[in-house]
Amino acid sequence: MGKPNKGGGTTKAAGKAASGIFAKCADKLFRVPGTKRDVYRLDPKKIDSKTRDEWRKKRPSNKPGPNDKVTSRKVDPYDKNLDPKDRELIDAVKEARRQANADGGDNFAAIRFVDKDGQERILVASSDGVHSERMGANLLLDNGIDVKDIKQIYTERSPCDINPSYCDQWIKRHLPGVDVLHSFDYGINGTSRSQANSEHRKWVRSIFT
């Protein structure tokens, strides 16, 4: 049995160390309760400034043009009847937050990818100087995961259009064809960023109650 967590679930792979491309920057491997999917949580504090600078040079972002933004579909994180794959990504974020006791406002993202051994896995990353979607995707691309094998990205807030990150443009440019989903409209579709942040805070609190 895995160790208990605040959410009441268990981490079935608790104690199993992350290996391979994640050995130096990921916390222990875990599994989303009720699934057999391997999930890794990236520790952003282990990504040094040199690596972050290299990412910005290799995969820059630019102010997007009219048709230069990724399309992200909105999913309700409270909906228990979501498509199983969408639900799995949301639950991976929830479990990663519980594992890290991360009850703050940083954005979390879960990326579904096919590893070099042909197995489908999930990487969860959080924002820390570099936005969460880019934090996780850059790590995968740097370590030989082909762009076509990055299948899905779930981000709590919709990909931003904030200078200099422009995550909505960055994803479309560097991860063409990836399926993107989010839960909270962040300054899009007539919403404000403060509204998204308020809804996000409620969502995070619900994870720990």
Is 59:176 a contact under the CB 8 Å cutoff?
no
Distances (CA, A) of 174 to 58, 64, 72, 97: 10, 13, 15, 27
Task: Report the run of H or E that residue 142 belongs to, with start and end.
Answer: helix 132-142
Q: Is the pLDDT of residue 18 over 90?
A: no
CA quadruple 27, 172, 104, 87: dihedral sign:
negative
pLDDT at 2: 29
pLDDT at 94: 95
pTM (two decimals): 0.86
What mean pLDDT, rounded, does the chain reach?
Answer: 86
Closest to 135 (Cα-Cα) out of 43, 20, 30: 43
Which of 7-11, 107-111, 192-196 has maximum average pLDDT? Answer: 107-111
pLDDT at 22: 58
pLDDT at 28: 55
Mean pLDDT of 63-72: 90
pLDDT at 3: 32
pLDDT at 27: 57
CA 147 – CA 145 distance, rounded (Å)? 6
pLDDT tens readout for residues 75-121: 999 999 999 999 999 999 999 999 899 999 999 999 999 998 999 99
